[in-house]
A = this chain, B = another copy of it.
Amino acid sequence: MILKPIGVVKSEYKSRKEAPRQGRLKEDVSVLEIFEEYREGLEGLERFEKIVVLYWMHEADRGVLKAKPPGESERGVFSTRSPDRPNPIGYSVCKLLKIEGSKIYVMWLDAIDGTPVLDIKPFIKEIDC
């Protein structure tokens, strides 16, 4: 189970400290730069208002099983949204602003600059809510 990055995140957030706790709380714009070899896979994406972005939280600590959400007590990582977890796959529902070539402009993404993009899926309210 080896992942292949399909692109990279360009973001104002340069470190984990700068990133918001949840991207949904901010209106900053991030860009997903999809690698040329995967561009064909984007065809038809522009019709969706929201997309699901999966990314690899490359600075995560994969060795912990407990986390302490801000203002809450420590508990198992799988009952938190902490980036530190065995498989640090980030998941964000993003607002799709525009697509220019292989650049996808989105809002609500909390990934930091340089984060590898793993997958993009259309958000479908009926099954995702």
Contact = CB atoms under 8 A, between A and B. Distances in A.
**What copy number does this chain have within its complex?**
2
Nearest to A117: B87
A54 B3 CA distance: 14
Interface bracket on A: 35 or more
> Mostly helix, strand, loop or mixed at chain A's interface?
mixed
A89 interface: yes
A76 B43 contact: yes
Contacts of A1: 2-5, 56, 58, 116
A7 to B, nearest CB: 10
Of A40, A128, A129, the most chain B CB neighbours within 10 A belong to: A128
Given A79-B47, A122-B79, A41 B24 contact: no
A75 B121 contact: no
